[in-house]
Amino acid sequence: MVVGEASSPSTPLTNNCSIIDAQKGDPLAFGSYWKQMNDECTLVIKGWELMSYYSDLSNMCWYMLPELKDAIERIHHLVGNAVTKDRYIVVGNGSSQLFQASLFALSPLDVPDHPVNVVAAAPYYSEYKSAINILHSRMFQWGGDAAVYDKNEPYIEMVTSPNNPDGTLREPVVNSVAEGKFIYDLAYYWPQFTPITHKADDDVMLFTFSKCTGHAGSRIGWAIVKDIEVAKKMATFVQSSSMGVSKESQTRAAKIIGVICDGYQNLKSKESELFFEYSKRLMKERWEKLGEAVEQSMVFGVVKYPNAYCNFTNEISETYPSFAWLKCEEGKENGHNYLRKLNISSREGERFGADSKFVRVSMLGMDDDFNELVKRLSSVKIE
Amino acid sequence: MVVGEASSPSTPLTNNCSIIDAQKGDPLAFGSYWKQMNDECTLVIKGWELMSYYSDLSNMCWYMLPELKDAIERIHHLVGNAVTKDRYIVVGNGSSQLFQASLFALSPLDVPDHPVNVVAAAPYYSEYKSAINILHSRMFQWGGDAAVYDKNEPYIEMVTSPNNPDGTLREPVVNSVAEGKFIYDLAYYWPQFTPITHKADDDVMLFTFSKCTGHAGSRIGWAIVKDIEVAKKMATFVQSSSMGVSKESQTRAAKIIGVICDGYQNLKSKESELFFEYSKRLMKERWEKLGEAVEQSMVFGVVKYPNAYCNFTNEISETYPSFAWLKCEEGKENGHNYLRKLNISSREGERFGADSKFVRVSMLGMDDDFNELVKRLSSVKIE
């Protein structure tokens, strides 16, 4: 089990200090914002409320609460990161479930002995491969690195933009004459991580509450889909695999997203910092600290990101990915092992289809953990 | 889509009266109990709470809140319907997800070209087949009626007890020399539906919050598993398909289950009715009304259930299934069509592997709907 790898957080390896878990992508950093908010973010549900399976029988996504649909459309309209007009929204138990749902919706059913290849350009999100392999499906199979895909067979390309693990903006890369379909994983296309350069308008786009606001425990994801037949198939998959999505989480997501949007709409900014300002400032400060630490250590290099004009903040803006994708400088061959000696748990480059020089480190841990992370990165030298 | 069949509830077919939806199994009947409860059932979550993916890294089911695990163990101990000591609990997004998870955990991986047959004795729960077929898995396939399974190949038998649709108590029925594995779907093994005759102690047992308390919108199910390796595989499946389970729902389920258990522990029964007393009385009253209506109509027959001693209520007790499984008397060949003429939407016998004389009708609708259902059943005669 993936998380099992990091399941002994209290066992010190060296230096008699506890392990910093930077392996997982738990977005705890934004908790500080929600902690200083008042009761408007508090969810209250009475014992008899939200008991039915059903939310809206007039919608093909019958389990989706109308207020969540409204909130999703509202925040995309506010941020300007995706087109929602005349599109279909399908809610899922996190974008993980919608990833599988979209594979089911897009895979051809008429060629059961030729599962479609699902590819993503390396370095790719480490969980795509395992989420596909565990299903042992007749409809699709993991096809590896999209950049070297050269089969003359239909394929589905995952386009993760900004990319996990390396934060770069992505476009499709497969060079094949075969028919391709595309799933855009836009989990990180929010202004705290990257400049919003355009309204995304792709066939199937996946988003998640986890990365937008930091509420990973809620397991709320959504897809924005052009073709109603694809959207219907996705909703049927969610019905079949979990008979819908937790209503408690749906109503909480609607409330939290509503509070963010209200803040901008009511221009409360003079009183208190608005969510994307706060979260972007936090990411900026962390990236500055990390940059200094990495420079000081002389062990790792970090990707340089181009600046771009952000349509949401109306200024030239930098990129602050949720992960640091570190590359060992010459002489060090294994980033993961190096960090282990510093009692920093990270995710190995190999898991993302890259080599062992690379390692992924979360930028979204708690304040204390993050500060300890940069301290260890900068001060300890190991030969 | 299954629910789509019943998605036009406001269109009258005949008699200018609206359709009663008795097709779905939405357990709304118990809402009346929760409505009269006080604030102890109210869930309050602040904006910054429950944000992490993780709940307990020391448990193989790392996303399960410890308070939910405790509540599940506590209610089984109270009711006496399942052994939990030295067993592993895996939480899922409803028992639907755990059904798929248990198939993945129990299917042999080493014979990918021979998917294991998943069987259930007819009449069987209509969704097993579709939840299997949608996956197009190399590991397992729908194998049909367990009672006629005669292949000399490994199989997995679903044992649904009490059974959906017909409320009967079940044991395995496959008569084959091949190796069989068993998944016990015990969703309805609660005292409001059936006498609790024994502590179930099977290898894999599935339960759901939906049917126990009526909170279907929460999507909380759990499996009680003997073998830790099976439990680990199930938790890995839930991780891979939805990265855990909504924490809002988990904490609410823990609270509601806790309130039920507190009631019995504190012997508050003198002041107000306890949950299983209330819900059993409600089921009893409804079955009496339905019995009268069916008798009066002379169109349908209903299964007769044996009485048994209930270890929970300490009395001889009747069976009050959550569905009525109606059989047309001679001369009427299609129960579903007959009910349509009464503007009652039901689920056809064929969907459960039975013939068209049979039809499933929910006993768990809202009071007004249920009363209208029995009124139509008893008063209207159609030739």
8 Å CB contact of B43 and A43: yes
Using the Cβ of B51 and the Cβ atoms of chain A, whether some distance falls under 8 Å is answered with: yes
pLDDT over 90 for what percent of chain A?
85
Give whole-number Cα distances, A32 to A213, A214, A368, B48, B210, in Å: 11, 10, 12, 8, 34
The predicted-structure confidence for B245-265, as pLDDT tens digits, reads as follows: 999 999 999 999 999 999 999
Residue A13: pLDDT over 70: no
CB-nearest to A51 from B94, B214, B242 is B214
Q: Which residues of A touch B35 (CB under 8 A)?
A: 47-48
Query: Scanning every residue of chain A, which has its alpha carbon at the shortest distance from the alpha carbon of B56?
Result: A7
CA distances from B356 to B40, B123, B326, B336, B370 (A): 46, 12, 11, 7, 23
Q: Which positions 274-293 of A are in contact with B (Cβ < 8 Å)? A: none
Residues of A in contact with B34 (CB under 8 A): 46-48, 51
Which domains occur in chain A, in start order? 2-34+273-379 (3.90.1150.10), 43-264 (3.40.640.10)
Q: Which residues of B touch A28 (CB under 8 A)?
A: 51-52
Looking at the complex, report in whole angstroms how far the Cα of residue A89 sits from the nearest Cα belonging to chain B.
16
The minimum CA-CA distance between B206 and chain A, rounded to whole Å, is 14
Q: Please, are residues A155 and A176 in contact by the beta-carbon 8 Å criterion?
A: yes
Q: In this complex, is the C-beta atom of B235 within 8 Å of any C-beta atom belonging to chain A?
A: yes
The model's pLDDT over A221-231, given as tens digits with 9 standing for 90+, comes to 999 999 999 99
The per-residue pLDDT for B268 is: 55
Q: What's the sign of the alpha-carbon dihedral A261, A263, A266, A267?
A: negative
The C-alpha atoms of residue A20 and residue A6 are separated, in whole angstroms, by: 10
Question: Residue B269 above 60 pLDDT?
Answer: no
Q: Is the pLDDT of residue B101 over 90?
A: yes
- For chain B, the C-alpha Rg in angstroms (whole number) is 21
Chain A residue nearest residue B62, CA to CA: A3
Helices B275-297 & B367-379 angle (0-180, nearest 10): 20
Annotate B169-222 with DSSP letters as a single string. --------SS-EEEEEE-TT-STTTS---S-B--SEEEEEHHHHHS-GGG-EEE
B281-286 contacts at long range (C-beta below 8 A, 24 or more positions apart): B282/B29, B282/B30, B282/B32, B282/B33, B282/B192, B283/B29, B283/B192, B283/B193, B283/B320, B283/B322, B283/B363, B284/B318, B284/B320, B286/B29, B286/B320, B286/B363, B286/B370
Distances (CA, A) of B359 to A106, A107, B60, B287: 35, 35, 42, 16
In angstroms, the CA A287 to CA A300 distance is 14
Choose, out of A248, A250, A322, the residue to mutate when testing the contact with B (most B CBs < 10 Å).
A248
Q: What residue has token string 């009253």?
A: B285
Amino acid at A24: K
Report the pLDDT averaged over residues A116-137.
96
B322-363 pLDDT, tens digit per residue, is: 999 999 987 777 999 999 999 999 999 999 999 999 999 999
Confidence class for position A112, pLDDT limits 50, 70, 90: low
Residue B382 has pLDDT above 80, yes or no: no
User: Helix (H, G, I), strand (E, B), or coil: what is residue A180?
Assistant: strand
Q: For residue A298, what pLDDT band results from cuts at 50, 70 and 90? A: confident
Is the distance from CB of A282 to CB of A30 less than 8 angstroms? yes
Q: In 3D, which of A348, A338, A340, A360 has the Cα closest to residue A13?
A: A340
pLDDT band at B14 (very low <50, low <70, confident <90, very high): very low
Residue of A nearest to B58 (CA): A7
pLDDT of residue B380: 57
> Could you say which of A51, A62, A214 has the minimum Cβ distance to residue B217?
A51
> Would you state the pLDDT for residue B332?
77
Instruction: Kindly tell me if the per-residue pLDDT of B71 is higher than 60.
Output: yes
Tens of pLDDT, residue by residue over B214-254, are 999 999 999 999 999 999 999 999 999 999 999 999 999 99
Contact A259 B47 (CB under 8 A): yes
A126 chain-B contacts, CB cut-off 8 A: none
DSSP per-residue letters across B7-58: --TT---STT-PPEE-SS---GGGHHHHHTS-GGG-EEE-TTTT-SS-S-TT
pLDDT digits (tens, 9 = 90+) for A15-43: 447 999 999 999 999 999 999 998 999 99
Distance from the Cα of A309 to chain B's closest Cα (Å) equals 31
Q: Span B64-83, mean pLDDT? A: 98
Q: How many CB atoms lie within 10 A of CB B293?
A: 18
Q: How many CB pairs below 8 Å do chains A and B form together?
A: 241
> Would you say residue B314 has pLDDT above 70?
yes
Under an 8 A CB cutoff, do B51 and A27 touch? yes
Angle, CA of A191, A195 and A198, to the nearest 5°: 100
Residue A267 has pLDDT above 80, yes or no: no
